[in-house]
Amino acid sequence: MTVWLEIDGKKRRVELPPSLTGNAMECVVDGRALSVNAEMLQPGVLSLIVEGRQYRCILDKEGVLIDGRRFAFEVNDPRSLQGRRGAGAGTAGPRSVKAPMPGRVVRVLVAAGEDVVEQQGIVVIEAMKMQNELKSPKTGKVVRVSVAPGDTVGAGEVLAVVE
C-alpha cells in the first residue's frame, strides 16, 4: 500500500507492506528502503523502533506527535482522512475572516466598503471568557460583514470577506 503525504509542507511517498505480519516491516520512503518495527498500542498510539531508537508517535488533530514534538501532515488523497489541513492558501483574491473557534460576536470593528490593512482588527469574538480580535488576512477592502454583535458563530464560520 502506498501513501502520499505532505509533512511540514514537504511531499513524501511512503510504501508500506501490503499486509502486516508481526512488527517488523520493510518500508520504502521516497525510494529509500527503511526497516521499522511497529506496534500500535491503541488506535492512534504507535511505538516505532528504527535501528534501536524507539519513537512514541501519537496521532493528533493536526498531525503526529513524536516524542512530544508535533509534525503537521496531510494525506494527499481526497478519499482519506478529513481535516488534516496544513497551512498554505495564497493571498491573492478575496480572503475571508473565519471564526477560529465557536463563540459569540462581541464587537464588529469595520463596516462593508471600508479599506483595511493586513492585521487590522475586523471582529472581536468571545469564548471561554476570553475575547479575541480577529484580524484582516490582507490589505484591501471589506466586501462583506456577515455577523453582528451578539451572534453566536461556529468554528470556521465566515465573519467577513476582504478583497
Partner 1 sequence: MRRPIKKVLVANRGEIALRVIRACREMDLQTVAVYSDADRAALHVLHADEAYRLGPAPASESYLRGDLILEIAHGVGADAIHPGYGFLSENADFAEACVSAGVVFIGPPASAMRVLGSKTRARQAADAADMPRVPGSVTGLASIDEALRVASGIGYPVMLKAAAGGGGKGMRAVLSPGDLASAYAAAGSEAERSFGSGELYLEKLIERPRHIEIQLMADEHGGCLYLGERECSVQRRHQKVIEEAPSAVVSESLRRRMGEAAVRLALSAGYVNAGTVEFLVDAEENFYFLEMNTRLQVEHPVTELVTGLDLVHMQLKIAMGEPLELKQDDIRLRGHALECRIYAEDPENQFFPSPGLITRLVQPSGPGIREDCAVYEGWTVPLDYDPMLSKLVAFAETREMAIDRMLRALDEYTISGIKTNIALFLRILMDPDFRAARIDTGYLERLLDNGVAAAEGSTVPEDVVAVAAALLASSVREDIPAAGAALESKWAATGRQEGLRS
Residues that bind partner 1 (CB under 8 A): 1-3, 5, 7, 10, 12, 14, 16, 18-20, 23, 27, 29-30, 32, 34, 36-50, 52-61, 63-71, 73, 75, 77, 79-81, 84, 100-103, 127-130, 132, 155
Minimum CB–partner distance for residue 94 and partner 1 (Å): 22
Quick one: 101 or 158, whose CB is closer to partner 1?
101
Spell out a b/e string for 110-121, using b for 16 or more CB atoms within 10 Å of the CB, else e. Answer: beeeeebeeebe
- As a dihedral over the C-alpha atoms of residue 156, residue 132, residue 86, residue 157, rounded to 10 degrees, the angle is 10
DSSP category for residue 78: T
Q: Which three cell numbers stand for residue 50?
A: 528504527
Residue 22 vs 93, nearer CB to partner 1:
22
Residue whose CB is less far from partner 1, 79 or 90 = 79
**Dihedral (Cα; 78, 71, 5, 84), 10-degree rounding:** 0
- Give the shortest CB-143-to-partner 1 separation in angstroms: 24
Minimum distance from residue 109 beta carbon to partner 1 (Å): 15
CB of 113 to partner 1, least distance (A): 27
Q: Which helix (H) or strand (E) holds 26?
A: strand 24-29
Give the nearer residue to partner 1 in terms of CB position, either 143 or 157: 157
Residue 8, φ and ψ in degrees, nearest 5:
45, 45
Residue closer to partner 1 (CB basis): 84 or 138: 84
